[in-house]
Chains A and B, each alone.
Chain A
Amino acid sequence: MNFALFFLKRLLRLLATLFLISTIVFFVIRVIPGDPALVIAGIDASPGEIEAIRATLGTDKPLAAQYFSWMGSLLRFDLGESLMTRQPVMKLILQRLPLTLSLAFLGIIIGMLIAVPLGVLSAVKRWSFWDYFGMAFSQAGIAIPSFWLGIILLLIFAVRIPIFPLFGSGTLAHLILPALSLGFARAAVILRITRAAMVEELGKEYIITARAKGLTEKLVKYKHALKNAMIPVITISGIQFGYMLGGAIIIEQVFSLPGLGRLFLTGIYQRDFTLIQGGVVFVAAVFSFINFLVDILYSLLNPRITLE
């Protein structure tokens, strides 16, 4: 299979996923017990008031009509209006997006900066102190929940040694601790992949050839092996970036950062159905798109993958 065909197939899968998600979200919201209009109106609303709310929500129309108007507006990147603030959901999301994206980006950078050198060292010096240190680190990274790490980092670096702010947002200093808490758990995963990839590359035949050619050990390990080992590492880091968006919801809560996660949570607390609906579709779309990009990038870096 050539690249163009692979790209097309992958693109079709992306579109199918997006279609599936928006359909599922639409129906789940409507199937769950409880009329949004009743929730918004409160218990002592008159039938007339409830009807009026239904009309503004569009829930008085037949289901099929609602579905097509929802899908139609999605095609125009319109996620409807927030029930609470009456502002377009898309606008609210785009306002909060930069913060969450920079948090996730900083987090993945920190994760890679910790994980890649340690993973390479673990693979090159197998069963050494560094390898055991790496193993312990990745166990800890997986066991320690990021939101608790965030609280502990605040305790140490904002309360005990006040070098970082305890509350607030807006500067880079406000992002360091949250990004560190997010990056730590991701580093554990990236570390394992780096080690495994490095070990695998070092066992391959071209490494033996390179050594037989008389290349220095340094050149063999850090130029030949590392270059190839980075392919899966970059792929995994890309997927981890998507996961960061999920993790950011909790971390933003811990550090009181006004990002996408906070917006989403506020929507849930206030039972703002259109905001939840739009938020889910948006995040799912971003996530699927990242996966799509990662797959394409991977097949470009490693042409053999498209053959499968």
Chain B
Amino acid sequence: MTKRTVRQNRLYIAAVLYLLILGAAAVAAPWISPHNPVEQDLEARLQPPGKGHLLGTDNFGRDNFSRIIYGSRSALLVGIISVSIAVSVGMVIGLWAGLVRGMTESTLMLIMDSILSFPTILLAITVVSFLGYGLTQVMIALGIIYSPVFARLVRAETLSIKTEEYVEAARALGTPWLTIIFRHIIPNLLGKVVVQCSITFALSVVAEASLSYLGLGTQPPTPSWGLLLKDARNYLIQAPWLAVYPGIILAFTVLAFNILGDTLSERINPRLSRNR
């Protein structure tokens, strides 16, 4: 193993550990949070990090650390649901386009491409402004917006797997298409889909935070990293700790998912790595 692979491996392990801890914290939030995240304590307003409140308190005296822990719930929930929607929708459209070809394919791909060509956040704001605000709407909006990436990927993979000899052999034997799809095509494209899931997860965590920052995502008093930062903006002078910690956790989460995606992608397809 080269020095670089060792370094990449260490980063990968660190990222996986971080995500495991984050996931565990999200699940175990009620038991590990030192305080109730929505309980106000007006006598302990805007306290700096220290004894009693590890990462300080906000303008209502709510514990910043507990709110960050609970905020991971919104972030991870949005990631899980929106990525699941995107994978399912993208997979169906991608397989359909890749197998049926012709007009259906060009129409589907034209729609996918036009969605892809717009900035995610702009689309998300637009969809949410139509659907109404809230966590559920954000999950649906992001799920729709991220599905074209999967559709393109699945279609491209399907087109190449379809011409493989084992698929031709299966077809010659009279295997029904549905069996071929589940036995040959899906297992072979799963690797790349998993990589894309990791990257998309990172994107949707940022999108959730951004939309919540704008007041369109998670609604108060439910904690979300974006909402924490929104409140922090108004108390930059009195309580800088409110702006620093949620952002660090947010950035580390995105970084961890990106490292995960990069490493998996290099393992699945070593030729695609930066190693040129």
Contacts and interface: CB of A to CB of B under 8 A. Distances in A.
B103 interface: no
Interface in B100-133: 114, 117-122, 125-126, 129-131
Interface residues of A, number: 46
Interface stretch (B163-171, B179-187, B248-256): B248-256
A290 to B, nearest CB: 10
Contact of A264 (B117, B125, B210): B125
Contacts of A140: 251, 255
B215 A269 contact: yes
Contact of A151 (B122, B130, B131, B236): B236
B255 A20 contact: no
A143 B213 contact: no
Given A151-B229, A268-B129, A199 B276 contact: yes
A225 interface: no
A249 B214 contact: yes
Please classify the interface of chain A as helix (H, G, I), strand (E, B), loop, or mixed, using the class held by over half of its residues: helix
Nearest to A244: B119
B236 A166 contact: yes
A283 interface: yes
Interface stretch (B42-50, B53-61, B190-198, B237-245): B237-245
A276 interface: yes
A32 interface: yes
A280 B124 CA distance: 11
Contacts of B237: 159, 166
Interface in A40-61: none
Contacts of A166: 236-237
A245 B121 CA distance: 10
Contacts of A151: 229, 232-233, 236, 243, 247
The range of chain B's interface size is 35 or more
Contact of A268 (B114, B216, B259): B216
Given A145-B209, A148-B251, A159 B240 contact: yes
A297 interface: no
B258 interface: yes
B206 interface: yes
B237 to A, nearest CB: 5
Nearest to B203: A142
A243 B119 contact: yes
A32 B126 CA distance: 13
A152 B255 contact: no
Contacts of A306: none
Contact of B229 (A147, A264, A291): A147
B229 A268 contact: no
A145 B129 contact: no
Most buried by A among B117, B122, B232: B122
A250 B236 contact: no
Interface in A258-281: 264-265, 267-269, 276, 280
29 contacts: A28-B130, A127-B4, A139-B258, A140-B255, A143-B202, A143-B252, A143-B255, A144-B254, A145-B206, A145-B210, A145-B247, A147-B209, A147-B229, A148-B209, A148-B250, A148-B251, A151-B229, A152-B244, A154-B233, A154-B236, A159-B236, A166-B236, A203-B276, A246-B122, A247-B121, A249-B121, A250-B214, A267-B129, A284-B118
Given A145-B251, A247-B121, A276-B129, 13 more contacts: A21-B114, A32-B131, A140-B251, A143-B251, A143-B254, A143-B258, A147-B213, A151-B232, A154-B233, A155-B244, A199-B276, A242-B119, A249-B214
